[in-house]
Amino acid sequence: MEDMWPSDITHSELLPPVAMMREQASLLGKKTRNLVTAEVSSRKEFESGKGEVLIHRFDLVAPALDNYTYGLFYIVQPITIYPLRFGMDSDIYEEIASSKLRDQVQMSKGAVTVDSEELFREVLRRILQSQKTKWVVSAMLAQTTSEVPPAQLGDAV
């Protein structure tokens, strides 16, 4: 039987967005001594006009606050990965809309669409470094540290 598949079909140098999200999630826990952590969850859904898409959600979690969870952002991507769409808090959206990045991405109704890994990384960076993200993490830490004995905190705050 003749094998008609290309020889390089299993070779990919693409780093999936969800892998980058998981990397960043693990780094937050290290920065806060796991007082605030991040979790990435995934599911598939049918989207009209696009077929099945993958949705990856990035949540901030405060374990000491009965696992209080704050949905920071999510992405919706086709199986081919790009273009993908970010959904986020309106304050973060406005920060991106007022930056130079707005000229490199598509912005519409609170969503940001990117068509490359480079732009994905830049939007992800903007979300994680946004003022709103800093406020939310700080608020979660402040409320968590009021519940945790000071000896356990070390230099996490």
Contact (Cβ atoms closer than 8 angstroms) between residue 88 and residue 73: yes
Q: Which pLDDT does position 155 carry in this prediction? A: 56
- Output helix, strand, coil percentages for the chain, rounded to the nearest 5: 40, 30, 30
Segment (H or E) for 11: none
Average pLDDT value over all residues in the chain: 91
DSSP secondary structure string for all residues of 26-80: HHHHHHTTTSSEEEEEEEEEEETTTEEEEEEEEEEEEGGGTTEEEEEEEEEE-TT
CA distances in angstroms from 115 to 46, 55, 64, listed in the order given: 20, 16, 38
Q: Report the CATH architecture of 17-145.
A: Alpha-Beta Complex (3.90)
Q: Does 122 score more than 80 pLDDT?
A: yes
Q: Does 92 score more than 60 pLDDT?
A: yes
Q: Which pLDDT does position 15 carry in this prediction? A: 87
The domain spans of the chain are 17-145
Rounded to whole angstroms, the Cα distance separating 42 from 22 reads 11
Contact (Cβ atoms closer than 8 angstroms) between residue 50 and residue 78: yes
User: In this predicted model, what pLDDT tens digit does every residue of 17-66 receive, in sequence order?
Assistant: 999 999 999 999 999 999 999 999 999 999 888 789 999 999 999 999 99
* pLDDT tier, 156 (very low <50, low <70, confident <90, very high otherwise): low
Q: Which pLDDT does position 48 carry in this prediction? A: 81
